[in-house]
Amino acid sequence: MKLVLKSIFFSFVLIFSSGKMMSQSSTVILEDNWRFSAAVKEDAFSIDFDTSKWEKVSVPHDWAIYGPFDKEWDKQVSAIEQNGEKIPTEKTGRTGALPHIGTGWYRNTFSIPEFKKGKKALLIFEGAMSEPQVYLNGKKIGEWGYGYSYFYIDITNDLRAGSENLLAVKLTNMPFSSRWYPGAGLYRNVSIVIKEEENFVQWGTFITTPEMKGENAVIDVKAEFQGSNMSMITQIKDADNNVVATQKGGEMKDQKFHQIIEVAKPHLWSPETPYLYTAVTKLYAADGTLKDEQNIKFGIRFIKYEAHKGFSLNGKVTKFKGVCLHHDLGPLGAAVNKAALKRQLTILKDMGCNAIRSSHNMPSFEQLELADEMGFMFLAESFDEWAKPKVKNGYHRFFQEYAEKDIVNLVRATRNHPCIVMWSSGNEVPDQWGAEGVKRARWLQDIFHREDPTRPVTVGMDQVKATMESGFGALLDIPGLNYRVHLYEEAYKTFPQGLILGSETASTVSSRGIYKFPVVQAKNKEYDDFQSSSYDLEACSWSNVPDEDFVLQDDKPWVIGEFVWTGFDYLGEPTPYDEKWPSRSSYFGISDLAGLPKDRFYLYRSRWNTKDKTLHILPHWNWKEREGEVTPVFVYTNYESAELFVNGKSMGVRKKNNSTPQNRYRLMWNDIKYEPGTIKVVAFDSNGKIAAENEVRTAGDPYRIVLEADRKTIKADGDDISFVTVSVVDKNGIPCPTAVNELEFKVTGAGTYRAACNGDATSLEIFHHNKMKLFSGKLVVLVKSIKTAGTIQLEVTGKGLRKGSIEIGSVN
C-alpha cells in the first residue's frame, strides 16, 4: 500500500492548470423565447401542442423559487441517519418549503441559419433539475438522470436546416429526492454548438503543465479530434494577448494530437496571483482549410500533496482556507447568475478564503471561470449518494447506470480549470460501511484517475471509525474528515497517507444580529423564536465551533486545511429547527442568505485575511430590557490584545492565550453589564502601542432609510444585478440593529426589481414581491438590468421613515 501511495503522490506533482474553453465553432445560447408550464398533465412535446397560455421565461430559470413557502410542499417523516437520529420525526423545510416537487415543461422554437449539410450540431445542457427528457421536433432524442450533471446530445440528424425547430424538455422532481433545496427547471445554460464534421471533440482537449525545465514551463496539450489527415497548430498567449509560444504538428495517435510547448519565465497561477494564459488550438484539413478553433484559458501552476508535510502550491506549503457552498443563490434560487456568484466570491475574498468546495454536486461553469479569474482553489464534488440511499428517491436510483458517465462529463468538462486542485467522489455516503463500499470507492476513484491522472480524489467521511476498519479511508488519495475533530489524531496514525483534510468543518449555527443569554457554549440549542445566537458558541450534535478546527489547522502540519460548512446560508436544512415551523433555510452560513456577513465572518477574517486588519465588536448595544444585566462583549481581531471601554470607563485589557480554544482566537469580556451608550475597543500592536479603534453605539428610534450598492454601474445585458444593502439609522445616523420595519421597493428606468432577502431563516415573505421586513436592521434588494443602457433608480419607503433612493448606471 505504501509503495502504491508514493507513486500516486508523485503523479500529482507533475501537474497542469487550464481553464475556460471557448470554441471557434458557432455557439447559440438558448436564453430567450422559452415557454414554461408546471400545470400540464399530458406530454407536451408535439409540434402542434398549444402553449399560448404558458408563461414566457428566460433560461436559466428556477420555477420553484417564486413560492409560496409552505411546509406541506416537502414535509417528511424521517430519521436523518448522518445526523445520528434513530427515531423518525416530522421534518419541515428540509428542502426549502418551496414548490419544487412535480413536473415542468419547457419549449423553445428556434432556427440555426449556420447549420447545413456537412455540419455537426450538439445540444448542451449545463444543468437540468431533474431527470430531463429531451424532444426535438416531436421526437425524443435523449434523457439523463442526474439533475446536477452536464451532458450533451448529438442532434446532427434531427436538426432542421434553414427552418424552425421545436425543442421541448420535460423535467421531473420527485418527492424525497434531496436533502436540501435542489431548485427546479433549466437552472443553467442550454446551448447549441455547430461544428464542421472535422472538429475538436467536445470536452476532448486536456492541457497540463507537468514540470519546469529551468526557467521554462512545459505545456502538454492533448486534443481529441474527428477527421482524417488533419493537422493542429497551437499558440500560447499571455494575459495581454501577446503570443509567447507556438507549436505546429506534434505526435498523432488514436485520433488525438499531442504537443509539448515551452513557455519562458511563466507567471504562475495562485490565489494571490490568478494569472491566466490562453491556448489557441487550430485544426486544419489536408488542404489547409481551418476546420475548428478553440480558445482555452489556462493557468500554469504546480500542486503537490506530501505525507506529514501537507499541500503545496508552486512549491509553497499552503493550507486550504475553504468554505462549502450549495448551488442555490438565495433569493434567486438555483438559477445561475454570474453577478451573484461574483458577489459571493468577492465577499469570501475579503474574508481571506482561498478555496471552495462544491457541495454536494458539480459546480457551474460560471463559478469555475470566476474561481480561475479571482483566485480560488476548488474541490469539485460529484455525488451525495452512491448505491445506498439517504433519501427515498435520491441518486442511488441512477448510480449503476450513470455514475461513470456523470464523472466522465464532470472531469472532461472542467479539468481545464487551474482552480480545481482535487476531486471528491462523494459526501457522507452510507456505503462507507462494508466491503461493497470499499469496492465502489476504488471504482469511482479509478474513473477519476483514468480521466485525470493529475489530481487526487477524496471523499467526505463522517463514519471515520468504520472507514478505519474497512480500508475505505486507506484507499483514498486524500482522506477527508467531516467534523470528528476528536478522531483526527487517530485517523492520522491509522491511515497510510500521512495527511488529513478537513473536508467539512464547524457547522456552527447563528442568526445575523441575534444574541442569546446567558452566553454559554452549547449543542443543539433551540429558542422560542427559532433563531440561533450570534455569539458563535452553538453547534450541532455532530459538529463544533470554529476555534476547535483552528487549533488543528494551526498546530498540525499534516492537517492540510478545512472547508467550513458553510460560506453562505442556503435554502433547506434548517438545523437545529428542522422539526419546527416556520424555518426554511440554514443557520450554518458565515454570511446569511442575503449575503450579509454574520459576526462569525469576522472571526474567520481575523485569522484568514493576513493582508487587512480586522477589529470587530459584538453584540450590538441596544438592550433596553437588559440594563444592569451581564451582556458579554466579544472582539474578533488579528491583533493580540485590546482594551474595552464602556461609556469611557475601562473594562480592562484582554490578551489572546492558549488556556482554551476560544481564548486563543477571541478577546472576551464576559462580565460586562449593559448600560446604554458607547462601547469602544482599542487594539494594541506587538509593541503595546495603539494600532486601531472601533466602537458600537446605542441607537434611537428608526428615522431614515440608507442604501448602499455593491456596484453602482452594471452591464445592460438583461442579466447583471446590483445588490443594494438597505438599512435604517436614527436621527444621528447610528444604525438601528433591531429594526424590523416593513419596507417597499420601487425600481424605475433602465432596470427591474428582481428580488429581496433579509437573511431571516423563519421569514415566509416571498423573495420577488416588492415589500419585505428588515431583519436585524438590514435586508438586500436585487436590481437587475435590462438590455437597454441608461439610469436605474431604486426607491425604498417605509411607514414613518424618510425614504431612501439610489441611482445605478447600466452601460453597454
Angle at 615 between CA 612 and CA 618, to 5 degrees: 145
Could you tell me what percent of the chain has a pLDDT over 90? Answer: 93
Q: Do domains 18-23+198-298 and 704-811 have the same CATH topology?
A: yes
CA atoms of 716 and 57, how far apart (whole Å): 18
Residue with cell 479571482: 374
Angle at 502 between CA 417 and CA 536, to 5 degrees: 115
Per-residue confidence band for 163, with pLDDT thresholds at 50, 70 and 90: very high
Model confidence at 79, pLDDT cuts 50, 70, 90, reads confident
Whether the pLDDT of residue 6 is over 70: the answer is: no
Q: Where are the alpha helices (DSSP H) in 644-718?
A: 661-665
List, for residues 706-757, the tens digit of each pLDDT value. Answer: 999 999 999 999 999 999 999 999 999 999 999 999 999 999 999 999 999 9
* Burial (Cβ within 10 Å: 0-12, 13-18, ≥19) of residue 258: middle
Cis peptide before 619 (omega within 30 of 0): yes
79-84 mean pLDDT = 70
Q: pLDDT of 774-797, one tens digit each? A: 999 999 999 999 999 999 999 999
Of the residues 428, 538, 548, 643, only one is catalytic, namely: 428
Signed CA dihedral, 264, 268, 269, 275: sign only:
negative
Q: Return the bridge partners of 630, or none.
A: 673
Residue type, 450: R
Mean pLDDT for 452-465 is 97
How many CB atoms are closer than 10 A to CB 180?
A: 21
For residue 548, indicate whether it is catalytic.
Answer: no
**Whether domain 32-64+100-188 has CATH 2.60.120.260:** yes
428 is catalytic: yes
What are the structural domain ranges in the chain?
A: 18-23+198-298, 32-64+100-188, 306-520+539-567, 623-697, 704-811
Q: According to the CATH classification, is domain 18-23+198-298 in 3.30.1360.20?
A: no
In this prediction, residue 228 carries a pLDDT of 95
For residue range 574-604, list pLDDT tens digits in order.
Answer: 999 999 999 999 999 999 999 999 999 999 9
Per-residue pLDDT tens digits for 338-369: 999 999 999 999 999 999 999 999 999 999 99
Other beta carbons within 10 Å of 363: 25
| CATH no., domain 306-520+539-567 | 3.20.20.80
Positions of E strands within 524-677: 538-539, 559-565, 615-618, 633-637, 641-646, 649-655, 667-669
Other C-beta atoms closer than 10 Å to the C-beta of 807 total: 12
Q: Which residue has the cell 462529463?
A: 409
Q: How many CB atoms lie within 10 A of CB 401?
A: 10
User: Please, are residues 630 and 518 in contact by the beta-carbon 8 Å criterion?
Assistant: yes
pLDDT bucket at 10, cuts 50 / 70 / 90 = very low
**For 545-689, where are the E strands, in sequence order?**
559-565, 615-618, 633-637, 641-646, 649-655, 667-669, 678-684
- CA separation (Å) from 383 to 62, 388, 396, 436, 488? 21, 12, 10, 17, 24
Quick count: other Cβ atoms within 10 Å of Cβ 250? Answer: 17
Average pLDDT, the chain: 95
Give the integer Cα–Cα distance in Å for 50 and 23: 36
3-state secondary structure of 652: strand
DSSP 300: B
| Cα 85 to Cα 221: distance, rounded to the nearest angstrom | 50
Q: Integer distance in angstroms from the first to the last C-alpha of the chain? A: 58
What is the sign of the dihedral through the CA atoms of 528, 530, 536 and 542?
positive
Is the pLDDT reported for residue 434 higher than 70?
yes
What distance in Å separates the CA atoms of residue 267 and residue 613, rounded to the nearest whole number? Answer: 28
What's the pLDDT score for residue 2? 28
Look at residue 810 and tell me whether its pLDDT is greater than 50: yes
Taking alpha carbons only, the member of 726, 789, 721, 784 closest to residue 752 is: 784
Q: Are strands 713-715 and 804-811 parallel, antiparallel or unpaired?
A: parallel
Please report how many Cα atoms fall inside a 13 Å half-sphere around the Cα of residue 451, on the Cβ side: 22
Q: Is residue 236 pLDDT above 70, yes or no?
A: yes
What is the spatial distance between Cα 357 and Cα 507, in angstroms, rounded to a whole number? 15
pLDDT at 385 over 90: yes
- Residue 457's pLDDT band, with cuts at 50, 70 and 90, is very high
Q: DSSP character for 570?
A: -
Q: Would you say 565 and 324 are in contact if contact means Cβ atoms under 8 Å apart?
A: yes
What would the mean pLDDT of 375-382 be, rounded to a whole number? 98
Phi then psi for residue 282, to 5 deg, are: -120, 130
Would you state the pLDDT for residue 83?
Answer: 65
Question: Which pLDDT tens digit goes with each residue over 509-567?
Answer: 999 999 999 999 999 999 999 999 999 999 999 999 999 999 999 999 999 999 999 99
pLDDT score for 25: 81
> Each residue of 182-196: b (16+ CB within 10 Å) or e?
bbbbbbbbbbbbbbb
* Domain spanning 704-811: CATH superfamily: Immunoglobulins (2.60.40.10)
Cα–Cα distance, 6 to 729 (Å, whole number) = 61
* Partners of 268 in the β-ladder: 300
pLDDT digits (tens, 9 = 90+) for 653-693: 999 999 999 999 999 999 999 999 999 999 999 999 999 99
pLDDT in tens, 16-74: 333 444 445 889 999 999 999 999 989 999 999 999 999 999 999 999 999 999 999 98
CATH class of 623-697: mainly beta
3-state secondary structure 166-209: EEEEEEEECCCCCCCCCCCECCCCEEEEEEECCEEEEEEEEEEE
Annotated catalytic residue, options 504, 538, 562, 643? 504
What are the tens digits of pLDDT across the range 110-146?
A: 999 989 989 999 999 999 999 999 999 999 999 999 9
